[in-house]
Amino acid sequence: MKFLKITLTTLTTLLTILNHVNAQNTATIEPEDTAYDIIRKAANVTPTPRQLRWQQLELTAFFHFGVNTYTGKEWGTGKENPKIFNPTNLDTEQWIRTVKEAGIKQVILTAKHHDGFCLWPTATTEHSLKNSPWKNGKGDVVKEVAEACKKYDIGFGIYLSPWDMNASIYGTPEYNDFFLEQLTELLTKYGQIDEVWFDGANGEGPNGKKQVYDFNRWYTHIRKLQPQAVIAIMGPDVRWVGTETGYGRETEWSVLPTAEKDEEKIALLSQKDVAVVPTLSGSFRDQDRGSRSKLKGATGLIWYPAEMDVSIRPGWFYRETENDKIKTPEILLDIYFGSVGRNGVLLLNIPPDKRGLIHENDIKVLQEWKRLRDEIFDDNLVKKAKLKGNGEKLKAVKDDNYNTFWTTKGNDSTAVIDLSFKTPQTMNVFELQENIAIGQRIEKFIVEYKDGEEWKKAIEGTTVGYKRLIQFPEITTSFIRLKIVSSRLSPTLSKIGLYKQ
Ligand code: FUL
C-alpha cells in the first residue's frame, strides 16, 4: 500500500512537471494534421510567463525624450549638438507618479532614438548627455527613470533604436558589436529591465549606408542578461498591431499561424524559449490574422500578442505648439476600449517637456481619463447577479481573481450562462476575460437580455482573449444570457462584467 502511495505521488508530480514542460508558446503543424488537430494545437498554445505578466499590465507608457525635445523635430539628423540637451527642472519621480496615478503599470524610455543621442553616459560614443550642460555632463536620465520606477514599484523598459544617424560605423558589421555594447550597458547597470522595444525603422547612417541588423544575436544577449524582459515589435515576444492609432482589431487572436519554410527556423521556433521573430502568414495590417481559415496551410503556431501604441499628442516628442492638441479624456477612454478591450496592451506615449517634466495639460487629461474609467468599472453589476449554467466553478467569474476560472465539462465547446437580478438593472458595457494561461479559445459569443417576455440580442462578439470590452445601447433588464457559440476546445472565463457608463 505504502509503495503504491509513493508511486502514485511520484507519478502525479511527474505528470505535473511533464505538463509544464509541454506547455509551449509554439506548436508545429505536421502535413498529416487534420483541421481538428490544428484547432486542438491552437487551443493549447499558451503565453510564456514573461508574456503573461506583460499582458496583465494592460496599460504601459512611452517617454519620448531626447534632443528632439529641444529642436521640436520628430526625427533628428544625428548632427545635433549635445549642448542643446538641457532640462531645467528634470524630475523623473513626477513622470512616474503621474503615470502610476493614471493606472499605468510599466514605462519605456527612449534611451536612444534614431538620432543616436544617448540618455545615459555611455562609453560607446561621445554623442550623449555626458557632453551636455545638464548636471555638468554628470547626469544619467536612464538611471533616474529606473530609480523612480523602483521607488514607485512599476515596470521599467527601454527603447534603443537600431537605426543610428550619428554612429560613423553604421552600415558596417562593427555597428552590430557597438549596438550590443550599448545593450550590455543598459541591461547591466540599471537593475531589472522588463521590456526591450526595438523599432523597425532602418534608414541611412551618416555615410549613406544601411545596416543589416543582427537581431538574433541581440535577442540571445537579452535573454541571457534579463530573461524576464519581453522583446517587443522587432522581437519574439510582442507584436506590433499594425497601426499607431491605439486601436486593435475587433477580432484579435494572440495565437498566430507562422509561414516558416526554413527547417532551421522551424526548429528554433519549436523550442520552449523562442528567441527569433516568426515569419507570419499575411501582413501586419490584415484584418484577420488568426481565425480558423488562416490556420489552414500554416507551418506552425505561436503565441504572439498585440501591442497598440499611440501618442497622447500629435507627435511622439514634446512640442509647445501641441499643448492644446492633447487627446481628450473621452478619446483616451475610447482608445482604452479599442486596445485593452480588444485583447491588447496599450502603450501610451506621454512626452516630457523641455523642463524635464510632464506638462500640466497632459496631467489633467490623464487624471480625468482615470476618473472616467473608475466611474465605469468600479461597480460590476455581475457581483449581485445569480449565476446558472453548465460547467465548473461558475462563481469564479465574479471573485476578482484572474487565476480562478470557469470552464465547461470535458471538451464541450459551447455553453450558456444565465445571470438574473432581483431588481432590473441598467447597463451598457460588457466585459469578458478568458484565462489565457490555458490558451485563447473563444471564437464567437452572443449576449441576450429579456425585454418583457421576449429575449433580444444585445451583443454579438468574436474573440475574447485576455480582455474584451464592448459598449452597447443602454438596456434595463433582470435577465442576461451569455451564449458561447463557438470555441476551440473548452472555453474558460476568469471574469464576466456588466457596467453602466
Ligand atoms: C516609430 C519611430 O520612427 C517614431 O519616431 C517613434 O519612436 C515610434 C514609436 O516608432 O517607428
Tell me which residue has cell 466585459: 431
Cα separations (Å) of 92 from 63, 69, 154, 229, 498? 10, 15, 13, 22, 38
The one-letter amino acid at 476? T
- As a whole number of Å, the CA-based R_g of the chain is 24
Does residue 201 line the site of ligand 1, with CB under 6 A? yes
Mean predicted confidence (pLDDT) in 391-397:
92
- Cα(318) to centroid of ligand 1, in Å? 14
Q: Which atom of ligand 1 is least distant from the CA of 159?
A: 7
- Tell whether the model's pLDDT for residue 311 goes beyond 80: yes
Between the CA of 306 and the centroid of ligand 1 the distance, in Å, is 17
The confidence score (pLDDT) of residue 320 equals: 98
Average pLDDT, the chain: 94
- Pick from 223, 143, 238, 467: nearest CA to 336: 467
- The span from the CA of 237 to the CA of 260, in Å, is 17
Do residues 82 and 127 make contact, with C-beta atoms less than 8 angstroms apart?
Answer: yes
Could you identify the residue written with the cell 472555453? 491
For residue 158, which of 123, 201, 103, 120 has the smallest C-alpha distance? 120
User: Of all residues in the chain, what percent carry a pLDDT higher than 70?
Assistant: 95
Are the C-beta atoms of 479 and 450 separated by less than 8 Å? yes
Which residues of the chain form CATH 2.60.120.260?
381-499
| pLDDT, tens digit (0-9, with 9 covering 90-100), for 395-447 | 999 999 999 999 998 889 999 999 999 999 999 999 999 999 999 999 999 99
Q: Is the CB of 304 under 6 A from ligand 1?
A: no
pLDDT digits (tens, 9 = 90+) for 225-273: 999 999 999 999 999 999 999 999 999 999 999 998 888 888 888 887 7
Q: Which of 340 and 278 is assigned the larger pLDDT?
A: 340
Cβ of residue 199 lying under 6 Å from some atom of ligand 1: yes
The CA 277 to ligand 1 mean position distance, Å, reads 19
The verdict on the CB of residue 11 being under 6 Å from ligand 1 is: no
**Type of residue numbered 51:** Q
Which atom of ligand 1 lies at the shortest distance from residue 161's CA? 7
Ordered alpha helix ranges (H), 23-139: 35-43, 49-57, 67-71, 92-101
Band of pLDDT at residue 10, cut at 50, 70 and 90:
low
Q: Is the pLDDT of residue 15 over 80?
A: no
CA of 126 to the centre of ligand 1 (A): 23
**For residue 203, what pLDDT band results from cuts at 50, 70 and 90?**
very high
Return residue ranges of the chain for CATH 3.20.20.80.
58-254+305-377
Q: How confident is the model at residue 500 (pLDDT cuts 50, 70, 90)?
A: very high
Class of domain 381-499: mainly beta
Ligand 1: residue whose CA is nearest its atom 1: 199
Instruction: Indicate whether residue 318 lines ligand 1 (CB < 6 A).
Output: no
pLDDT score of 9 more than 60: no
The Cβ of residue 21 has, within 10 Å, a number of other Cβ atoms equal to 9
Mutate to test the pocket of ligand 1, among 199, 241, 313, 348 (most ligand atoms within 8 A of CB): 199
DSSP letter for 147, please. Answer: H
pTM above 0.85, yes or no: yes
Is 58-254+305-377 assigned to CATH 1.10.760.10? Answer: no
Q: Which of 22-36, 227-241, 267-281 is least confident?
A: 267-281
For 5, the enclosing helix (H) or strand (E) is helix 2-22
Please, is 338 exposed, middle or buried when counting C-beta atoms within 10 Å of its C-beta (0-12, 13-18, 19+)?
Answer: buried
Give 221-257 as a DSSP string. Answer: HHHHH-TT-EEEESSSSBEE-S-SSS---SS--SEEE
Taking the centre of ligand 1 as the mean of its atom positions, its distance from the CA of residue 199, in whole angstroms, is: 7
For ligand 1, is residue 63 a contact (CB within 6 Å)?
Answer: no
Sheet holding 239-240, edge to edge: 230-233, 195-198, 155-160, 106-112, 59-63, 344-349, 306-311, 239-240
Question: 348 C-alpha vs ligand 1 centroid, how far in Å?
Answer: 13
Please tell me the distance between residue 64's alpha carbon and the centre of ligand 1 in angstroms: 9
- CA diameter of the chain: 80
Using the mean position of ligand 1's atoms as its centre, give its distance from the Cα of residue 196 in Å: 14
Contact 391, 360 (CB under 8 A): no
